[in-house]
């Protein structure tokens, strides 16, 4: 990749500020827990796997701020409150918390916790690369993929999930092009997916969200591939708002609909997607776009950040373990066994 999503430095966690893309490619250092929390809340760093990695480094930042284990525990509680839907956040923090007392008993809690955070970081890259290689088997030379939101290097440790499948296919010698939904209201598809694909020399066409059904009907799309922030044990998948209607359109037009996500995005403790908490975001994201008011101030706004695609609309789920096809029950049960 021709950019770094996030990396650890001696001054703290360095991230590319995704709020400023595609106009400005700016990197910022997060040196306090509050800065890490704010970066996650405001989507300076975003994408389920990347949020998990950022949160793990946030624990290291907390240890650098104070030698008190109680302070670090309090900071971890703040990190847990940043965003409710992406399960990777909680998985990463659970791993960090399980080693917290050992870290402080070691006499060098900062480096001890840093080693764990770096392990989470490197493991995420490895598993995203592996799932992408599995997913690339589904694509043929000359195929066109439609995706929604951003599930690429910007959303992970640096390779991607849905876009990772595209990258892996291209690396294997296949020519792949992409249609990217703009993804309202924050335009992650137009701002981020199009930016990173173009930066990596992959042909991309941006469309408005309400054009997806038309390009599917016109036969322009061979596969739809999206990421996921949380997947229930039955295969129901929560992803950026607008994914569910896209799955309906794909099913109507007999286009395969794939969900690509690492096992860290699976929540095997819940039976169905009905149990997935859906983040509600500020009305200002709809009311105002890039500082310009686009709707009357005296009307109501409803802004769920995610929706849930039922397993029945999903052709296959791609993880580092391989490809799960319908029916999902038996293979997802196998995947749940650690």
The catalytic residue positions are 229
In whole angstroms, what is the distance from residue 331 CA to residue 328 CA?
6
Q: By the 8 A CB rule, do 7 and 14 touch?
A: yes
- Phi and psi dihedrals of 50, rounded to 5? -65, -35
- Taking alpha carbons only, the member of 135, 137, 132 closest to residue 159 is 132
In whole angstroms, what is the distance from residue 221 CA to residue 131 CA?
22
If residue 61 lies in a helix (H) or strand (E), which one and from where to where? helix 48-65
For residue 272, give both structure tokens: 């169905």
- Phi and psi dihedrals of 206, rounded to 5? -90, 135
For residue 108, give both structure tokens: 């060098």
Q: Using only C-alpha atoms, what is the Rg of the chain?
A: 19
For residue 4, give both structure tokens: 């770094």
Residue 281 bridge partners (DSSP): none
For residue 1, give both structure tokens: 């990749």
DSSP class of 90: H
CA torsion angle for 20, 121, 274, 40 (degrees, to 10)?
-30
């Amino acid at each position: 990749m021709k950019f770094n999503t996030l990396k650890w430095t001696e001054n703290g966690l360095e991230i590319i500020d995704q709020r400023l893309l595609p106009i400005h490619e700016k990197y910022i250092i997060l040196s306090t827990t509050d800065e890490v929390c704010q970066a996650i809340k405001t989507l300076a760093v975003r994408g389920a796997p990347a949020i998990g990695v950022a949160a793990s480094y946030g624990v290291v930042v907390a240890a650098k701020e104070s030698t008190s284990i109680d302070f670090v525990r309090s900071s971890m509680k703040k990190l847990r409150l940043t965003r409710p839907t992406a399960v990777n956040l909680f998985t990463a923090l659970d791993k960090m918390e399980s080693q917290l007392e050992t870290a402080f008993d070691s006499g060098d809690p900062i480096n001890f916790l840093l080693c764990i955070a770096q392990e989470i970081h490197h493991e995420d890259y490895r598993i995203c690369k592996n799932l992408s290689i599995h997913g690339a088997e589904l694509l043929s030379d000359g195929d066109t993929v439609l995706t929604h939101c951003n599930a690429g290097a910007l959303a992970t440790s640096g390779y991607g999930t849905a876009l990772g499948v595209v990258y892996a296919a291209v690396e294997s010698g296949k020519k792949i092009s992409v249609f990217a939904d703009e993804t309202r209201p924050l335009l992650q598809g137009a701002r981020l997916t199009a930016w990173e694909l173009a930066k990596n020399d992959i042909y991309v066409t941006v469309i408005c969200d309400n054009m997806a059904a038309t390009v599917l009907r016109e036969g322009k799309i061979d596969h739809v591939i999206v990421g996921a922030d949380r997947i229930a044990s039955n295969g129901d998948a929560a992803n950026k708002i607008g994914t569910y209607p896209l799955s309906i359109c794909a099913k109507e037009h007999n286009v395969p609909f794939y969900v690509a996500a690492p096992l860290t995005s699976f929540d095997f403790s819940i039976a169905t997607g009905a149990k997935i908490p859906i983040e509600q975001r500020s009305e200002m994201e709809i009311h105002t776009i890039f500082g310009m008011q686009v709707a009357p101030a005296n009307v109501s706004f409803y802004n769920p950040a995610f929706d849930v695609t039922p397993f029945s609309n999903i052709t296959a789920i791609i993880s580092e373990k391989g490809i799960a096809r319908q029916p999902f029950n038996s293979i997802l049960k196998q995947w749940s066994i650690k």
